[in-house]
């Protein structure tokens, strides 16, 4: 079977970096057409730099990196440097990238790459705020019916992580999230309910370190930094490794379970801006628009991740 064509839209971020590495380590299953970057965990100047650094860490200079939107559609940008550090990849010192940033804007690159490929063959994988994705869908509505699906990290069935109601990616750009969920494109949503089952515990981090390659030493160091915030905040034995779950779902969908639901995005609420309202029990009469994943085999996920990181 031919590998799945994927565009990874991200805001690296340590967990986005691991998602990039997992995709690059899986060429039999994933043809990574491009990495597109957006402002989110840190500003755009850093997310595009970080993405290029991670690509160069694997010596894969064939994957282009595009810079996209520097701010949300309507809201001012809010970052998460308290989690990821001032660079977004704190915890490791990587060389300045020599891979040039692709000249095309990420929104235009998404449109072009989807339109160039046969209908139903490109999967869009956003792991940051959905600004680039929403604007691509608005700029060229023809890409929606051509996408195989959108598999994204964002939202929550239950509690948020930036407010009591909202997850960070959706809270940063709720209007973009609303555009995406109202687009009619098949969506798989991987939210906090799932990712908080996939924790970077000390034994799992040690398994990564023990591989002993330059890539895994870097991953160990930046995940060790990443762990410090959420372990203290939530009193848990490791930080949730959110974004790689998107790529892991493409590779091993059997590691995850959920059901189709209606998801609507609150854009205006005083207390609930960015809330993903998931009709888990089918209480409204609106049709389902997303597969909402809520369960993960965490041990199976880390077995897959560690096996793939060892290839790099």
122-126 vs 65-67, strand pairing mode? unpaired
Q: Which residues contact 116 (CB under 8 A, 6 or more apart)?
A: none
- For residues 106 and 38, the answer to whether their CB atoms sit within 8 Å is yes
SS3 57: helix
- For residues 184 and 286, the answer to whether their CB atoms sit within 8 Å is no
Known catalytic residue at 196:
no
Nearest CA-CA partner of 298 in 250, 257, 270, 266: 257
30-37 vs 65-67, strand pairing mode? parallel
d(CA 182, CA 292): 15
Phi, psi of 197 (to 5 degrees): -95, -10
- Give me the catalytic one of 84, 196, 220, 242: 242
Catalytic residue set: 242
């Amino acid at each position: 079977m031919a590998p799945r064509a994927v565009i990874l839209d991200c805001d690296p971020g340590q967990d986005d970096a691991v998602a990039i590495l997992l995709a690059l380590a899986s060429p039999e299953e994933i043809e990574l057409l491009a990495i597109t970057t957006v402002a989110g965990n840190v500003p755009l100047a850093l997310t595009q730099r970080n993405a290029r650094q991670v690509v160069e860490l694997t010596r894969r200079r064939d994957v282009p990196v595009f810079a996209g939107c520097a701010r949300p559609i309507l809201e001012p940008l809010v970052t998460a440097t308290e989690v990821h550090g001032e660079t977004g990849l704190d915890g490791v010192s990587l060389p300045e990238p020599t891979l040039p940033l692709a000249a095309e804007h990420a929104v235009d690159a998404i449109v072009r790459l989807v339109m160039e490929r046969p209908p139903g063959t490109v999967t869009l994988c956003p792991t940051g705020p959905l600004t680039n994705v929403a604007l691509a869908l608005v700029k060229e509505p023809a890409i929606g019916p051509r996408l195989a699906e959108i598999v994204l990290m964002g939202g929550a069935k239950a509690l948020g992580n930036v407010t009591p109601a909202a997850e960070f990616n959706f809270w940063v750009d709720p209007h973009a999230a609303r555009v995406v969920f109202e687009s009619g494109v098949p969506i798989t949503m991987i939210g906090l309910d799932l990712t908080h089952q996939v924790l970077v515990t000390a034994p799992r981090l040690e398994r990564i370190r023990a591989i002993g390659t330059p890539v895994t030493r870097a991953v160990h160091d930046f995940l060790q930094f990443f762990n410090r915030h959420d372990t203290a905040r939530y009193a848990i034995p490791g930080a949730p490794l959110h974004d790689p779950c998107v790529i892991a779902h493409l590779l091993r969908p059997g590691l995850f379970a959920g059901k189709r639901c209606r998801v609507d995005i609150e854009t205006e609420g005083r207390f609930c801006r960015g809330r993903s309202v998931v009709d888990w029990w089918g209480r409204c009469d609106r049709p389902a628009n997303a597969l909402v994943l809520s369960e993960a085999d965490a041990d199976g996920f880390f077995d897959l991740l560690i096996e793939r990181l060892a290839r790099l």
